[in-house]
Amino acid sequence: MLKNLVYSALFAGLAAGIIVAALTILMLVPLLLEAELYETGQLIHFGDVTAAMPDIHAEHDWARNGLTALFAATIYIGFAFVMVAVMAFAQEKGVQITTRSGILWGLAGYASFQLAPAMGMPPELPGMIAAEITQRQIWMIGTILATTVGIASIVFGKNWAHWGVGLVILAIPHVIGAPHPEAFGGTVPPELAAEFAGRSLAVGAVGWIALGVLSAYFWLRENR
Amino acid sequence: MTTATHSDAKTDSNLVSIVFAAFLGLSVLFIAGFASSATLHDTAHDMRHAIGFACH
């Protein structure tokens, strides 16, 4: 059992991590680098809009991209261990796992780990103003837990009581609300931040769907 | 009877493996995604931003 769990999580996490690393480097890193030009003051977006922008462009730093790829794989292997463990547990309880249902497992993981937290704390660029880090991390971990339990209670619940409790648990973090800064005033243009948030959520959706399908595929293969 | 006991023991050991795998995954996520060490923060920086984990 343990060997199958470890192998399927490693394979699924690594494969999904490679997909996410490629998408992150192509779609997200250029926006991070541009934001850093504003964070360090090389570019400024307030003031005279007719003034010519200095012709500064951020270049890819491939050593830095290497670290990003390494951490994409590490983080998705972490996600994969949790995903495969929960799939194995569900299977023990009589839930049938298929590669096709892996899409739904992936979407559920995406909702728990990225979409629900993003409702209170949208993905941020460097140079944005945010509340104190520890408070945000506590809200985020609480939201991940509540969303996971809420979705499980709705999906595997058998009556209105289970479904109702699931909905309430899903809503709790958003009723409490995420910690927000007392004032705004970041250095990053809002247009850039909005583009980053949208892209980050899209890349996350692709990564998690891939992770769900690959986890189911490797789990079924290791257990054949 | 023997079969039932055997099957119970197997379910228990499966459960231990499942909990261990989940714990391993969460530990990896905590270190890569949340730990506040400066070195870890700097190396994981772009990826933390990319998945929307609180960074700064």
Query: What is the residue-wise DSSP string for A196-218?
Result: HHHHHHHHHHHHHHHHHHHHHHH
- Chain A residues in contact with B24 by the CB 8 A cut-off are 81
pLDDT in tens, A103-155: 999 999 999 999 999 999 999 998 888 888 889 999 999 999 999 999 999 99
- Cβ <8 Å between B21 and A200: no
Comparing A81-85, A208-212, B11-15, the range with the smallest average pLDDT is: B11-15
Domain-embedded: residue B1: no
Chain A residue with minimal CA distance to B25? A78
pLDDT band at B4 (very low <50, low <70, confident <90, very high): low
Domain-embedded: residue B8: no
Residue A43 has a pLDDT of 83
- Cβ <8 Å between A140 and B22: no
Three-state DSSP at A51 gives coil
pLDDT band at A46 (very low <50, low <70, confident <90, very high): confident
The answer to whether A1 touches B15, Cβ cutoff 8 Å, is no
pLDDT of A64 strictly over 60: yes
Mutation target vs A (from B46, B48, B55; most A CBs, 10 A cutoff): B46
Which residues have CB under 8 Å from A71's CB, separation 6+? B32, B43, B44, B46, B47, B48
Of the partner residues B27, B32, B34, the one whose CB lies closest to the CB of residue A71: B32
Residue A187 has a pLDDT of 86
pLDDT of A58 strictly over 90: no
Domain-embedded: residue B31: yes
Distance to chain A for B8, nearest Cα, Å: 12
pLDDT band at B6 (very low <50, low <70, confident <90, very high): low
Distance to chain B for A125, nearest Cα, Å: 7
pLDDT band at B3 (very low <50, low <70, confident <90, very high): low
Best CA proximity match to A29, nearest among A55, A61, A56, A57? A61
- Summarize the confidence of residues A80-90 as an average pLDDT: 97
pLDDT of A94 strictly over 80: yes
Of the partner residues A20, A85, A141, the one whose CB lies closest to the CB of residue B25: A85
- Chain A residues in contact with B53 by the CB 8 A cut-off are 140
What amino acid is encoded at B27 in this protein? S
pLDDT band at A47 (very low <50, low <70, confident <90, very high): low
CB of B34 within 8 Å of a chain A CB? The answer is: yes
Domain-embedded: residue B44: yes
Mutation target vs B (from A112, A137, A223; most B CBs, 10 A cutoff): A137
- Cβ <8 Å between A67 and B43: yes
**Of A133 and A211, more confident:** A211
Containing structural domain, residue B34? 13-52
Interface pTM, i.e. ipTM: 0.89
- Cβ <8 Å between B50 and A24: yes
Three-state DSSP at A41 gives coil
Ranked by mean pLDDT, the top range of A184-193, A199-208, B29-38 is: A199-208
Domain-embedded: residue B7: no
Domain-embedded: residue B6: no
Domain-embedded: residue B39: yes
Domain-embedded: residue B2: no
pLDDT band at A207 (very low <50, low <70, confident <90, very high): very high
**Of A55 and A2, more confident:** A2
How many domains are contained in chain B? 1
